[in-house]
Amino acid sequence: MSEGTLAGSVLELTNQLTRNAAAQSEREKERSRLAAIRDEFKAHLTWQSGRLHALKRNVERLYNERQWLNQKTVEVTQDANLLAHEIRQAKAELEQVTQQRDSLQAELRIAREELSLESESAAALRQICTQANKALAVHVRERDARKAELEDAKQEAFRSKDRVEKLAYQLNGVGTL
Protein backbone atom coordinates (compact mmCIF):
# COMPACT_ATOMS: atom_id res chain seq x y z
CA MET A 1 0.00 0.00 0.00
CA SER A 2 1.33 3.38 -0.86
CA GLU A 3 1.90 6.12 1.61
CA GLY A 4 -0.49 8.51 -0.21
CA THR A 5 -3.33 6.02 -0.05
CA LEU A 6 -2.60 5.32 3.61
CA ALA A 7 -2.52 9.04 4.41
CA GLY A 8 -5.80 9.50 2.52
CA SER A 9 -7.38 6.64 4.45
CA VAL A 10 -6.14 8.04 7.76
CA LEU A 11 -7.49 11.48 6.82
CA GLU A 12 -10.82 9.95 5.78
CA LEU A 13 -11.00 7.94 9.01
CA THR A 14 -10.14 11.07 11.02
CA ASN A 15 -12.92 13.01 9.27
CA GLN A 16 -15.36 10.14 9.83
CA LEU A 17 -14.36 9.97 13.50
CA THR A 18 -14.91 13.75 13.85
CA ARG A 19 -18.36 13.49 12.23
CA ASN A 20 -19.28 10.53 14.43
CA ALA A 21 -18.11 12.38 17.56
CA ALA A 22 -20.17 15.45 16.56
CA ALA A 23 -23.25 13.26 15.91
CA GLN A 24 -22.78 11.52 19.25
CA SER A 25 -22.41 14.87 21.01
CA GLU A 26 -25.66 16.09 19.41
CA ARG A 27 -27.46 12.91 20.50
CA GLU A 28 -26.17 13.32 24.05
CA LYS A 29 -27.34 16.95 24.13
CA GLU A 30 -30.77 15.92 22.82
CA ARG A 31 -30.98 13.12 25.37
CA SER A 32 -30.03 15.55 28.18
CA ARG A 33 -32.65 18.04 26.97
CA LEU A 34 -35.34 15.32 26.87
CA ALA A 35 -34.32 14.11 30.34
CA ALA A 36 -34.68 17.68 31.65
CA ILE A 37 -38.14 17.92 30.08
CA ARG A 38 -39.09 14.57 31.62
CA ASP A 39 -37.90 15.72 35.05
CA GLU A 40 -39.82 18.97 34.67
CA PHE A 41 -43.01 17.05 33.83
CA LYS A 42 -42.47 14.73 36.78
CA ALA A 43 -42.19 17.75 39.07
CA HIS A 44 -45.29 19.28 37.47
CA LEU A 45 -47.26 16.05 37.95
CA THR A 46 -46.16 15.93 41.58
CA TRP A 47 -47.30 19.53 42.07
CA GLN A 48 -50.63 18.75 40.39
CA SER A 49 -51.11 15.75 42.63
CA GLY A 50 -50.59 17.94 45.70
CA ARG A 51 -52.94 20.57 44.29
CA LEU A 52 -55.57 17.91 43.57
CA HIS A 53 -55.30 16.64 47.14
CA ALA A 54 -55.69 20.19 48.49
CA LEU A 55 -58.71 20.79 46.27
CA LYS A 56 -60.31 17.55 47.47
CA ARG A 57 -59.78 18.67 51.07
CA ASN A 58 -61.34 22.05 50.26
CA VAL A 59 -64.35 20.39 48.62
CA GLU A 60 -64.79 18.15 51.66
CA ARG A 61 -64.48 21.13 54.01
CA LEU A 62 -67.01 23.11 51.98
CA TYR A 63 -69.35 20.13 51.97
CA ASN A 64 -69.10 19.87 55.75
CA GLU A 65 -69.70 23.60 56.16
CA ARG A 66 -72.67 23.37 53.81
CA GLN A 67 -74.12 20.52 55.86
CA TRP A 68 -73.67 22.56 59.02
CA LEU A 69 -75.30 25.60 57.41
CA ASN A 70 -78.18 23.45 56.19
CA GLN A 71 -78.69 22.15 59.71
CA LYS A 72 -78.59 25.68 61.12
CA THR A 73 -81.03 26.85 58.44
CA VAL A 74 -83.47 24.14 59.48
CA GLU A 75 -83.09 25.15 63.12
CA VAL A 76 -83.56 28.83 62.31
CA THR A 77 -86.60 28.03 60.16
CA GLN A 78 -88.11 26.05 63.01
CA ASP A 79 -87.45 28.92 65.38
CA ALA A 80 -88.99 31.35 62.88
CA ASN A 81 -92.10 29.18 62.59
CA LEU A 82 -92.33 28.96 66.35
CA LEU A 83 -91.99 32.72 66.67
CA ALA A 84 -94.56 33.27 63.91
CA HIS A 85 -96.95 31.02 65.78
CA GLU A 86 -96.26 32.90 69.01
CA ILE A 87 -96.84 36.20 67.20
CA ARG A 88 -100.21 34.94 65.92
CA GLN A 89 -101.13 33.94 69.45
CA ALA A 90 -100.07 37.34 70.77
CA LYS A 91 -102.22 39.07 68.16
CA ALA A 92 -105.24 36.98 69.15
CA GLU A 93 -104.64 37.86 72.78
CA LEU A 94 -104.28 41.51 71.78
CA GLU A 95 -107.73 41.48 70.17
CA GLN A 96 -109.24 40.04 73.32
CA VAL A 97 -107.44 42.62 75.44
CA THR A 98 -108.66 45.39 73.12
CA GLN A 99 -112.27 44.31 73.71
CA GLN A 100 -111.66 44.48 77.42
CA ARG A 101 -109.71 47.73 77.15
CA ASP A 102 -111.63 49.71 79.76
CA SER A 103 -111.07 47.18 82.49
CA LEU A 104 -107.63 45.92 81.40
CA GLN A 105 -105.54 48.98 80.32
CA ALA A 106 -102.44 47.83 82.19
CA GLU A 107 -102.52 44.34 80.66
CA LEU A 108 -102.94 45.83 77.20
CA ARG A 109 -99.69 47.84 77.51
CA ILE A 110 -97.79 44.72 78.55
CA ALA A 111 -99.20 42.73 75.62
CA ARG A 112 -98.20 45.48 73.17
CA GLU A 113 -94.66 45.53 74.56
CA GLU A 114 -94.48 41.72 74.20
CA LEU A 115 -95.73 41.96 70.65
CA SER A 116 -93.14 44.62 69.82
CA LEU A 117 -90.33 42.51 71.26
CA GLU A 118 -91.50 39.41 69.42
CA SER A 119 -91.73 41.36 66.15
CA GLU A 120 -88.18 42.63 66.64
CA SER A 121 -87.05 39.08 67.38
CA ALA A 122 -88.78 37.85 64.23
CA ALA A 123 -87.12 40.62 62.19
CA ALA A 124 -83.73 39.75 63.67
CA LEU A 125 -84.38 36.09 62.96
CA ARG A 126 -85.39 36.89 59.37
CA GLN A 127 -82.17 38.86 59.00
CA ILE A 128 -80.20 35.89 60.34
CA CYS A 129 -82.03 33.61 57.89
CA THR A 130 -81.19 35.99 55.04
CA GLN A 131 -77.53 36.10 56.06
CA ALA A 132 -77.44 32.31 56.41
CA ASN A 133 -78.95 31.90 52.95
CA LYS A 134 -76.40 34.34 51.51
CA ALA A 135 -73.56 32.48 53.22
CA LEU A 136 -74.94 29.19 51.90
CA ALA A 137 -75.06 30.63 48.39
CA VAL A 138 -71.44 31.80 48.71
CA HIS A 139 -70.37 28.37 49.92
CA VAL A 140 -72.24 26.68 47.09
CA ARG A 141 -70.50 28.97 44.58
CA GLU A 142 -67.13 28.24 46.20
CA ARG A 143 -67.84 24.52 46.14
CA ASP A 144 -68.81 24.67 42.48
CA ALA A 145 -65.69 26.71 41.71
CA ARG A 146 -63.53 24.17 43.56
CA LYS A 147 -65.19 21.35 41.63
CA ALA A 148 -64.44 23.17 38.38
CA GLU A 149 -60.82 23.73 39.47
CA LEU A 150 -60.57 20.06 40.41
CA GLU A 151 -61.88 19.03 37.00
CA ASP A 152 -59.45 21.43 35.28
CA ALA A 153 -56.58 20.01 37.32
CA LYS A 154 -57.61 16.47 36.35
CA GLN A 155 -57.71 17.43 32.68
CA GLU A 156 -54.31 19.11 32.92
CA ALA A 157 -52.91 16.02 34.66
CA PHE A 158 -54.18 13.80 31.85
CA ARG A 159 -52.72 16.12 29.22
CA SER A 160 -49.39 16.23 31.07
CA LYS A 161 -49.40 12.44 31.39
CA ASP A 162 -50.00 12.11 27.65
CA ARG A 163 -47.15 14.55 26.90
CA VAL A 164 -44.81 12.67 29.23
CA GLU A 165 -45.73 9.35 27.64
CA LYS A 166 -45.18 10.82 24.18
CA LEU A 167 -41.80 12.25 25.22
CA ALA A 168 -40.86 8.93 26.84
CA TYR A 169 -41.77 7.15 23.63
CA GLN A 170 -39.72 9.65 21.64
CA LEU A 171 -36.84 9.31 24.09
CA ASN A 172 -36.94 5.53 23.83
CA GLY A 173 -37.16 5.80 20.05
CA VAL A 174 -34.04 8.04 19.93
CA GLY A 175 -32.17 5.65 22.24
CA THR A 176 -32.69 2.69 19.88
CA LEU A 177 -31.30 4.45 16.77
List the domain boundaries for the chain. Answer: 42-165
Predicted TM-score (pTM) of this structure: 0.34
The region, left, alpha or beta by phi > 0 then psi within -120 to 50, assigned to residue 2 is beta
Using one digit for the tens of pLDDT, what is the confidence trace for 49-74?
999 999 999 999 999 999 999 999 99
Q: Specify the pLDDT at position 177.
A: 44
If 0-12 CB within 10 Å is exposed, 13-18 middle and 19+ buried, where does residue 2 land?
exposed
Residues 38 and 171 sit within 8 Å (Cβ to Cβ): yes
Positive or negative: CA dihedral 127, 128, 131, 137? negative
Q: Specify the pLDDT at position 42.
A: 94
- In Å, what is the CA distance from 20 to each residue of 54, 121, 128? 51, 91, 80
Ranked by mean pLDDT, the top range of 20-34, 108-122, 160-174 is 20-34
Mean pLDDT of 2-18: 83
Residues 102 and 22 sit within 8 Å (Cβ to Cβ): no
**What is the distance between the alpha carbons of residues 87 and 109, in angstroms, rounded to a whole number?**
16
Contacts of 44 (CB under 8 A, 6+ apart): 160
CATH hierarchy code of domain 42-165: 1.10.287
Residues 133 and 72 sit within 8 Å (Cβ to Cβ): no
